[in-house]
Amino acid sequence: MRVLDSHLHLWDPALLDYPWLEGPLLSRFAAEEIATAVDGVEDERGFVFVQADCVEAQYLDETDWVASLAEKVGVRAIVAGARLDRGTETERHLDAVAARPLVVGVRHLLQGEPAGFAGGQAFRSGAAALVDRGLTFDACVRGEAQSRDVEALAAAVPELRIVLDHLGKPSVGTAVEPEAPSAEWAASMHALAAHAQVHCKLSGLPAEAGGSWSAEQLEPFFDVALEAFGPDRLMIGSDWPVSAVTASGWNGGNGENRAALDAGAIGAWTEAVASWAVARDLDVDAIMWRNAESFYRLG
């Protein structure tokens, strides 16, 4: 089986600044670490790197650093960091981003922005500038209000190719106390999927479960995504290393506690998504490779 992982993070706090890192994530995750994470996973594998929220002044430095590792790691494309609400400054930054050969899209991290932010004229102008440069937009949101913002953005800028990260970060519970998909979240997924240019990543749910998850717990969320988006607009993403943190890690590990990371996280997530796709009689290669390749135009 071949796997084009559409959501990989890499960072090195010794090189760049990531104020949000803590616990077992406050460490280096680069070429050596990802090689260890996929050791023994017998798949043809490539990656799409997604910006890891370093400080804004270092967005281009992050992009260049990842590009320097790309051949060794297997990174086929980069989703760079960008602020889309800065007017002419955004335009200049996007010109610099688009000039880098591996960059296929950007992410302005929306989950920390207030509801309605993506509906502002400044942000929409930045989104339109992405279209002009042939770049995609990764939408990372939390909650139905922010999902509605992305839906409105899709309606306002219909030429913009958007992919929803982590299924919109629904509340999933834990393996011991699972939650069913809420009606509100399911409705938001269908509303987003009504826009044909919007896709969805099967990613990030282990982190939403606080590191305590099972395939059985999460399959109902995959099913809602399938019903909404269909099999041709879903793509796998590992969200490594964020989704590799175990429950003990989320509950108070420290920067030296590498045992709080699941060494088999990538393989476990690959198996969970692939097994679900097989059970639903889907085109496994599409979900595991071709859909991401098509969305990011890597063919």
Cα→Cα distances 106→82, 191, 206, 248, Å: 6, 23, 24, 32
The secondary element (H helix, E strand) that includes residue 136 is strand 136-139
pLDDT band, very low/low/confident/very high, at 255 (cuts 50, 70, 90): very low
| pTM for this predicted structure | 0.96
Mean pLDDT value of segment 78-104: 98
Residue 250 predicted with pLDDT over 90? no
Mean pLDDT of 165-183: 98
Distance from C-alpha of 121 to C-alpha of 114, rounded to nearest angstrom: 15
Residue 160 has pLDDT above 50, yes or no: yes
Neighbours of 208 (CB within 10 A): 23
Domains, the chain, in order of start with CATH, read: 2-295 (3.20.20.140)
- Cα 83–chain centre separation: 17
Q: How far is the C-alpha of 288 from the C-alpha of 118, rounded, in Å?
A: 30
**Please, what is the end-to-end C-alpha distance for the chain in angstroms?**
18
Q: What mean pLDDT, rounded, does the chain reach?
A: 95
At 75, is the pLDDT very low, low, confident or very high (cuts 50, 70, 90)? very high
Q: Mean pLDDT, to the nearest integer, of 167-185?
A: 98
Angle, in degrees to the nearest 10, between helices 88-98 and 59-73: 20
What integer pLDDT is reported at residue 259 of this predicted model?
Answer: 66
**pLDDT band with cut points at 50, 70 and 90 for residue 40:** confident
Structure tokens at 13: 């706090």
CB atoms near residue 197 (< 10 Å): 16
pLDDT for 41: 78
Q: Of the candidates 236, 229, 234, 222, which has an alpha carbon nearest to the alpha carbon of residue 280?
A: 222
pLDDT at 137: 98
Question: Tens digits of per-residue pLDDT, 104-123?
Answer: 999 999 999 998 999 999 99
State the amino acid at position 40 in one-letter form.
G
